[in-house]
Structures are given as structure tokens and as C-alpha cells.
A = this chain, B = another copy of it.
Amino acid sequence: MDVGFIGLGRMGRAIAARILDGGHTLTLYERTPGHCTELVAGGAHAAATIAETCAGREVVITMVSDDVALAEVALAEDGICVSLGAGAIHLAMGTYGVAMTALLAEAHAEAGQRLVGAPVLGRPAAAAEGQLGIIAAGEATAVAACGPLFELIGRRVFAAGFEPESAMAVKLANGFVLACAIEAMSEAFALTARHGVAPELLRDVLTGGLFSAPAYEIYSRIIVDQSYETPGFTARLGLKDMELALEAAARANVPLPSVSVVRDRLLGAIAHGDGECDWAVLAREQARASGLSD
């Protein structure tokens, strides 16, 4: 396929490399010239503008940081909506808000283009091995057309429906279920610490029983080790995702009390200077609230 790519951070580059290696034609939007040397050396074409990145492509993938960045590359003057051909697909693989995604879907529909929402589950390392989870939603033929690309990067595709924003809702839900697990563990560690229990013991009980899953194994390890300074995902980014979840919930009139609890702890963590720590620092913030940490 003839693919354009916008948003070449760590995750974007990993996905782009898989697509290139899969034999597809790739045109990158290189905002900072020389940023994607490796991909260009591998045969990708570096375009100087979004317009050039989009013109004539079957699919343009975006993997940008947030709603504002998405609006900038897609909705602004000379953005994707203006530049993409009729019938072409905008494959949005970042995690964006439900409202912004719905707005964008409408804009693409008006321009005769198609939006597929396909946020991913997993870290860049998983992308590099083609092991991402992909939550895809949009018009059925458009989602199907992206199949060959999904196969290169994903271990599994979850079909989340026909509205691109549905995929975002699922991604955000998966994210807050994780956040709530971390928060619950944080409360559990604080309670048992106050009762004289060694953290390692609680970790054993949890992960040796009902919670023998990566979410608990990974994050209880970070909490026990207090290794917050080498973040896999920061408190600040976690807060962003909780805000998006709460926005999606407000749009749908769904109260999410557990997510509000997480949001408040993340705000506290950031207020205490831990915004760039791993979001498992929720446990330190919970310890603070319990008088167990400064």
C-alpha cells in the first residue's frame, strides 16, 4: 500500500519500520529534518509538508501526542482533511479524545474521506515485534482495508464498531481499568504497611492468586521497589488519559467515581513534584495521604 505517516516519536517510528519492512511504500512527514534517518535509509520518502505526505496516499497514519496535536495536523489549514484524496483513509493510531475523534470523523466524511480509529495497546518494544493490540473502529470496508497494516504490527485486532470514537472509548477504558488497579494496590500497600506487613509479602499474595496478570506483576514490582524515577508511563501522561476518560464519560453521562479518585491522586502526585515519575507513583501519593511518606 501507499502509506503516509505523521507523528514519528518512539511508537510512531516502531510502527513505521514494521510497515516499511512489510514492503509498503512509506512517506514520512519529517517535521524536524534528519529525525528519521534510519527509516529514510530503509527506503522511506521524507516529505516536508503534511500536504505532500497526504497527496495520493491510500492511507495516512497519525501517531501524535494529543488532541491539540491531532487538530493541528488534521484540521488546520493544509492539514490532512484538506490534503487527503477522496476515499482515502486517515488511520488514527494515537490515543485521542472521544469528542475530538467524533469531530474529526465528521470533517473527514464531509471531505469524502474515511477515518479509522485504531489506538494501540503495548509499548514501542511490542510494536517493533509486531505484538501490539489494536482496537479498531470505523466504516467496515475502511477497517478491512487497513488489515494488511494491522497484521504487520499487531498480535490481535479488536473490532470495536463502526464509529472511530468507539475505539477511543475502549482504549480509554482499558487505561483507566489499569489506573484503578494501580490505585487499589497503592491503597492495599498503605493499609498493610501500617499493619506491619512487608510489601513483598502483599505482592506475593496478589500476584500468586487472583491477580497473576501483567498489570499487577509489573506495577506491584515498581511499587515494592519504589523505582518511580525510570518511568514507563508518567503520572502526567496518566492524568491526561484520565481527563480524556472523564471527558468521554461526561459526553455519555456516565459517572466514573473510581477514575475521579485516581485523577485526584495523580493531581496530588504532580503537586508534590512527581509528575515525571512513573504513574505507579500513585502509591507514593497514597502513602503521603496516609502519613507514611513526605
A170 adjacent to chain B (CB < 8 Å): yes
Q: A165-B195, A205-B135 are in contact. Are A264 and B256 (CB under 8 A)?
A: yes
Contact with B along A240-259 (1 / 0, CB 8 A): 00010100111011111111
Of A14-22, A83-91, A181-189, the one contacting chain B is A181-189
Asked whether, in the complex, the Cβ of A159 is within 8 Å of the Cβ of B201, the reply is yes
Considering the complex, give the chain B residue whose CB is closest to the CB of A216: B213
Q: A184-B181, A201-B159, A267-B253 are in contact. Are A195 and B166 (CB under 8 A)?
A: yes
Tell me the residues in window 192-235 of chain A with beta carbons closer than 8 Å to chain B beta carbons.
192, 194-198, 201-202, 204-206, 208-216
Tell me the residues in window 245-294 of chain A with beta carbons closer than 8 Å to chain B beta carbons.
245, 248-250, 252-261, 263-265, 267-268, 270-273, 288-292, 294
Chain A residues proximal to chain B, CB less than 8 Å = 98, 121, 133, 135, 156, 158-163, 165-166, 169-170, 172-174, 176-178, 180-181, 183-185, 187-188, 190-192, 194-198, 201-202, 204-206, 208-216, 239, 243, 245, 248-250, 252-261, 263-265, 267-268, 270-273, 288-292, 294
Q: A166-B197, A255-B265 are in contact. Are A188 and B177 (CB under 8 A)?
A: yes
5 smallest CB-CB distances across A and B, nearest first, come from A271-B291, A213-B213, A255-B264, A180-B184, A194-B252
Q: A181-B181, A184-B181, A254-B194 are in contact. Are A174 and B291 (CB under 8 A)?
A: no
Query: Bound complex: CA of A179 vs CA of B181, how far in Å?
Result: 10
Asked whether, in the complex, the Cβ of A263 is within 8 Å of the Cβ of B261, the reply is no
B residues less than 8 Å from A273 (CB atoms): 291
Asked whether, in the complex, the Cβ of A249 is within 8 Å of the Cβ of B267, the reply is yes
Query: Bound complex: CA of A21 vs CA of B239, how far in Å?
Result: 50
Query: Bound complex: CA of A260 vs CA of B184, how far in Å?
Result: 11
B residues less than 8 Å from A133 (CB atoms): 205, 208-209
Asked whether, in the complex, the Cβ of A261 is within 8 Å of the Cβ of B257, the reply is yes
Asked whether, in the complex, the Cβ of A195 is within 8 Å of the Cβ of B98, the reply is yes
> Can you list 23 contacts pairing A with B, beta carbon distance less than 8 Å?
A121-B205, A133-B209, A159-B201, A169-B197, A170-B197, A170-B202, A173-B187, A173-B202, A174-B210, A180-B184, A184-B184, A187-B257, A191-B245, A191-B248, A191-B254, A210-B213, A243-B250, A253-B271, A254-B267, A260-B260, A271-B291, A272-B291, A273-B291
Min distance, Cβ A174 to any Cβ of chain B, angstroms: 6
Min distance, Cβ A176 to any Cβ of chain B, angstroms: 7
Asked whether, in the complex, the Cβ of A250 is within 8 Å of the Cβ of B264, the reply is no
**Which of B166, B254, B263, B294 is A190 in contact with, Cβ under 8 Å?**
B254
B residues less than 8 Å from A290 (CB atoms): 252-255, 267-268, 271
